[in-house]
Chain A
Amino acid sequence: MSNTTLRVVLGLTVAALILATAPLWAGRADLRLIGEMMSYLALAVLWNLLAGYAGLMSVGQHAFVGLGGYVLVIGTVSMGLPPLATLPIAFVVAGLAAAAFALLLFRLVGAYFAIGTWVAAESVALVFAGVPAWGGGAGISLPADVVRSIAETREMREFVVYWLLCGLGIGTLSAAYTLIRSKPGLALMALRDNPTAAVSVGVNISRIRFWTYVMVAALTSVVGAIIFLQKLRVSPQAAFSLQDWTVAVIFIVVIGGIGRLEGAIVGTAVYFLLRETLSGYGVFYLIVLGVVAILVVSFSGRGIWGLVERHLGWSLLPTGRRMSA
């Protein structure tokens, strides 16, 4: 293990330990907030892989968050499965749905692909809203016995969901780091930096894009299932919320630094800082985020982390490579 890898592993382990012990030192509201931050960190890391690395600008990831939420509820309510057993099902269902969408949507170029993913998300939401057995437009709650099966007391339940969310946040970040340092990750970085050159050295763009889209969708859906395990209730509006699962995530990555793993961490911090400080002013924080995102894209391009990297030369999760003699 090289020195840098050791440092990263150590850093992630310490972060995981601090987060895991939070039930001992943090209050209920804080725990909820940290849990929510972890879920956004996971969503942001995933969207960053998609848009920042593979160049797939999806504005329809809420399709998969919602799909995960619905798999959780349908699996537990209609099929009697324990909640955690629905997670692999959410992974597979969303992966298959994404593969089907990819076959059609990859025919759209650039920005039209973006709106195509949005149409796909709208269609999925309409399908779920149209099935009365799944609650129709009103939605459906997790029944009490399913909720109890997570853990007996409410306190313990909150801890379990919190740990799941932490595992998700740190796990996704570690997995993305490992991926970027692997051989397919090298191809992804080549794709990010220069698609034409990447093709010329033998990167199979369409294959790597397809698999990135499918895997990101599958994992996004698992995140969604755990998010709704905390909320205990799904409705088409909440599960397929463009605002919550796509707009917020895009702002996080763009402001933090698109195409840099650290961007998701910085962006999540900035997003929650703004949201919590401006919470008394309604949707004003979204206007501020929008303006900041526009300025970041127009003037810097690589977000806050891009500036840090350029001017200070820092790297939290170094993915660069050195040529060996």
Chain B
Amino acid sequence: MAYVDAITQGILLGGLYALFAAGLSLIFGVMRLVNIAHGDFIVLGAYIALVTVQTTGLHPFLSLIVVVPLMAGLGYAIQRWLLNRTLGPNLLPPILVTFGLAVVIENSLLMLFSTDNRRLAVGAIETASLSLGPISVGWLPVSTFLVAVALIAGLELLFYRTAMGRAFRATSDDSEIARAMGVNTRHVHSIAMAISFSVIAIAGVLLAARSNFDPFSGPARLIFGFEAVIIGGLGSLWGTLAGGIVLGVAQALGAQISPQMQFLAGHLVFFLILAVRPRGLFPRMD
């Protein structure tokens, strides 16, 4: 029974990992950029939510009306005026710049907020649970999972059913041609980053409601999101959900063996997938 319970928790945790992964996957899909500071921006979102809650007294979930636009604006600005100038045939500059951003964010948060563990108190939903036969699951993980599914469905619609999505796909396929056709690719990149940052903001608040965080919580979130992307398959948003679930279940089962095995089990599954299915479970991108 402990295993059934662990698997259930792992699946629900996978929803959160899929949220970490979706933002990464989106910008990689549009502009082949990997944001090394992705996890640190998730944590930055959590801190912005914390400050918003403390100053306005809003409920953490309502603080999203402040956090999402702020983060989206930040994402747009960073892409438009910093990252766009680093995109080109050479892969190193964007990695190095986002790596620099990661270190700047971590240490700035450390100076502002110290290493204290923080958490967002979200009220009764924290402890409320739902009985499913012999096991019970928390409402918070269930809602997180549902939010992840809804967001991924929304991103899929955006990508494949809207004019903006067409611009994204055109830029992804061949940004030179897209530019020749009148697409302002610099603006498209920046919009994609703004969307990625909106997902980051939501992921940050959900993370902060679920577990403690500190200024150095970011890198692990980047790694989990990245593992979900690779396990699920590059370029597939539903794949990232599958990847997140596989990773969440692996970690939950690993934790049953020993505390150290929790994260190691996730890493091992990641390496296993690289060994036997390097393109991931549901690849879409060539």
Residues of A within 8 A of B (CB): 51, 55, 57, 59, 104-105, 107-108, 110-112, 114-116, 118-119, 122-123, 126-127, 129-130, 242, 247, 250-251, 254, 258, 282-284, 286-287, 289-291, 293-294, 297-298, 301
Contact = CB atoms under 8 A, between A and B. Distances in A.
Contacts of B168: none
B32 A294 contact: no
Given A114-B36, A282-B110, A290-B103, 15 more contacts: A55-B91, A57-B95, A104-B275, A108-B230, A110-B91, A119-B223, A247-B103, A254-B96, A286-B104, A287-B108, A289-B103, A297-B86, A297-B93, A298-B82, A298-B85
Given A110-B91, A111-B95, A294 B226 contact: no
Contacts of A123: 264, 267-268, 271
Contacts of B219: 118, 242
B32 A126 contact: no
B110 A297 contact: no
Given A129-B260, A283-B107, A111 B91 contact: yes
Contact of A119 (B85, B100, B108, B226): B226
Contacts, number: 120
B99 interface: yes
Interface string B218-246: 01001100110110000000000000000
A286 B99 contact: no
A107 B278 contact: yes
Contacts of A289: 103
A66 to B, nearest CB: 15
A251 B96 CA distance: 9
Nearest to A111: B34
B226 A115 contact: yes
A111 B111 contact: no
Contacts of B227: 119
B18 to A, nearest CB: 17
B274 interface: yes
B101 interface: yes
Given A115-B222, A283-B111, A290 B91 contact: no
A258 B108 CA distance: 26
Given A104-B275, A111-B91, A258-B92, A250 B99 contact: yes
Contacts of B96: 57, 250, 254, 293-294, 297
A194 to B, nearest CB: 9
B263 A122 contact: yes
Given A107-B274, A126-B267, A112 B226 contact: yes
Interface in B21-50: 28, 32-34, 36
Of the listed residues A116, A130, A294, the one surrounded by the most CB atoms of chain B closer than 10 A to its CB is: A294
Interface in B67-126: 82, 85-86, 91-97, 99-101, 103-104, 107-108, 110-111
